[in-house]
Copies of this chain bind each other. A is one copy, B any other.
Amino acid sequence: MVATIKDVARLANVAPSTVSRVIANNPRISEKTKERVREAMTELGYHPNFIARSLANQSTQAIGIVIPGSADKAFLNPFFPEVIRGISKGAHQKHYALHMSTGETDAEIMEGVVQMVEGKRVDGIVLLYSQVDDKLTKYLLLKNFPFVIVGKPFKDVELITHVDNDNYRAAKEVTEHLIELGHERVAFIGGNLKLVVTVERLLGYEKAIRNAGLEYRDDYIVHAQFLKEGGQAAVQELFKLNEPPTALVVADDLMALGVLNMLDDMGINVPNDVSVVSFNNVMLSEVSRPPLTTVDINIFQLGYEAAKHVIQLVEDPLDPIKRIIIPHKLMKRQSCIEYHSKKKLHQE
């Protein structure tokens, strides 16, 4: 049998409550008894039972991570491990552990969150995505449970602490970059339109197009899933058009990789025939052929700040709602080139 607080108390000739106070390093216990109790602890190889403590305490020192559509899909996109790296770092600094449920469908994920919250398994939650009209957000808000969103909340922006990039501006900037390079037929390949990030990037793209006085064409907007295969499907649609685009804004590096593959299969050269820019700057984007010009959104930082702020929220429920914007940066690489009507000139 494993030693409990009672065993320690008995051995040290004190009450269990005293042992508890020693664990918490309560200053009102004399150094002498502290010493005696500590000796008893090591003698018995005592370690506190976290679960029991959690029950008495109503706190778990763990934060929950919620991933869209099941870890076993999402982890295919390097974005997620990278945010989790950041979260892990932030949680570590405050001595928090990480907890993930493993639901696959939306219903199961919801179920998992309810279990985390209602079952008191975690003290706070980081939502790794923001969906339009999200039930989860609504639930968490209703329960008044500490949580932060990585991304921009669809609504109630002023009620939810969130860590985000300025995706609108970032998308606008990359599109402008393409336009400055002389491109006039710029298409947008986005991910799931239910994700707020997709919407933001699309809006930024649109703004840049309109600002430049270019035509905003519906058939230049394609949506697919945030995976390699998504990118491939999108390209096929776009290059069936009479006037195919000369540049592509792709909402995610992994999709861009699919785009690159498909373009290659179709014998279309990047960057000579078509320029490509994308988002995230995951390791792949540096390695791809050609290396992708992409927006570094500082994924790690996104996770790190999210963790820090849920914990703040947990430890002080009155902590004000915050909006943290992580800076982005365009990483120019070899997937973009100047476009002069029918001629291709020097690289950027």
Identify the A interface with B (CB < 8 A).
Answer: 2, 47-55, 60, 62, 70-72, 75-76, 78, 80-82, 84-86, 88-89, 91-92, 96-104, 112, 114-115, 118-121, 257, 283-284, 287-289
Chain multiplicity (copies): 2
Q: Is the CB of B50 within 8 A of A119?
A: yes
Specify which of B54, B72, B84, B121 is in contact with A88 (CB 8 Å cutoff).
Answer: B72
Asked if A97 and B102 sit within 8 Å, CB to CB, the answer is yes
Contact among B49, B55, B289 for A118, CB-based, below 8 A: B49
B99-A99 in contact (CB<8A)? yes
Report Cα–Cα, A101/B63, bound state, in Å: 11
Chain B minimum-CB-distance residue to A3: B118
Contact (Cβ within 8 A) B97 A51: no
In angstroms, Cα B101 to Cα A70, docked, is 20
**Most chain B CB atoms below 10 A, which of A70, A80, A84, A121:** A121
Return chain B residues, CB-CB under 8 Å to A81.
75, 78, 80-81
Chain B residues whose C-beta falls within 8 Å of the C-beta of A85 in the assembled complex: 71-72, 75-76
Separation of A92 and B108 alpha carbons in the complex (Å)? 10
Q: Can you spell out 22 A-B residue pairs with CB atoms less than 8 angstroms apart?
A: A2-B118, A48-B118, A49-B55, A49-B120, A50-B115, A50-B120, A50-B121, A51-B54, A52-B55, A71-B84, A72-B86, A72-B88, A72-B92, A75-B82, A75-B88, A80-B81, A89-B102, A92-B103, A97-B99, A98-B100, A283-B284, A284-B284
Contacts of A50 in B (CB 8 A): 115, 119-121
